[in-house]
Structure 1
């Protein structure tokens, strides 16, 4: 592989993992700019926006990020989107009411999925499902 000791070109990683999924997504890391008050003030509009992204097929997942002790929430979140480019993912983040209002700031990182498992259980008789 080429590059510096601390990094290698993405193309080298893709080549080394050529038999993996290599699904390109974008992770939007978001955190409060001025405490939890503004976050809760814009939470309803933010969640409606997220549901719209989900309906449009652009949202892969979204979730709050707990504190390290798993006991509380300081307003941080992770939103993973399907987008054609990092710039398109930035545009998605900029349109979020939470970011438009200045309640949170964000950073977008490209994220390539290679490994993992998703298991869904669907009970036909009760029409219930569970993500395991």
Structure 2
């Protein structure tokens, strides 16, 4: 096993982006009605994190077939450390209420493409 700091240094040395995010995999821990009850506060919290720049991406995930929603969600945080990301996840009303539990991991982004299109006159925004 390689220590995270060594891996990140090696990735940067070979020209990789080595952009660090923190990924919470959130799963239901109580009944669906408990999850639903916490949803408005959870969504407001997510909006506040997005506004502050601490939320990169978030949303529900399907089952392995891709056909059904299974209640699992993925939340990708921007934070200065794993501890700071953990504090963000623990403060989420969904997790705080116990309706959902989470696992948290560091994620290093090295490759990929993100396209953003902004229509200046139409004010249309497209992300692909």
Residue 4 of structure 1 aligns with which residue? none
Residue 123 of structure 1 aligns with which residue? 119
Give the gaps of 5 or more residues in structure 1: 1-6
Residue 13 of structure 1 aligns with which residue? 7
After the TM superposition, which of the residue ranges 42-51 and 10-19 deviates more from structure 2? 10-19
1:106 and 2:102 matched: yes
- Is 1:121–1:129's contact at 8 Å kept on the other side of the alignment? yes
Cα RMSD, aligned residues only? 1.4
Can you list the C-alpha shifts for 1:110-130, whole angstroms capped at 9, x where unaligned?
111111111011222321111
Question: Take 1:38 and 1:71, find their aligned partners in 2: how far apart are those partners?
Answer: 24
1:94 and 2:127 matched: no
Question: Take 2:116 and 2:52, find their aligned partners in 1: how far apart are those partners?
Answer: 21
Residue 60 of structure 1 aligns with which residue? 56
Matches within 5 A, 1:35-50: 35-50=31-46
Residue 65 of structure 2 aligns with which residue? 69
Matched positions, count? 126
The structural deviation recorded for 1:31 is 0.2
User: Which of 20, 24, 43 is matched with 1:24 structurally?
Assistant: 20
The structural deviation recorded for 1:13 is 2.5
The structural deviation recorded for 1:75 is 1.5
Question: Take 2:28 and 2:81, find their aligned partners in 1: how far apart are those partners?
Answer: 25
Question: Take 1:83 and 1:59, find their aligned partners in 2: how far apart are those partners?
Answer: 9
TM-score normalised by length of structure 2: 0.90
- Structure 1 runs of 4+ off > 6 angstroms? none
Question: Take 1:89 and 1:14, find their aligned partners in 2: how far apart are those partners?
Answer: 18
More helix as a share of residues: 2
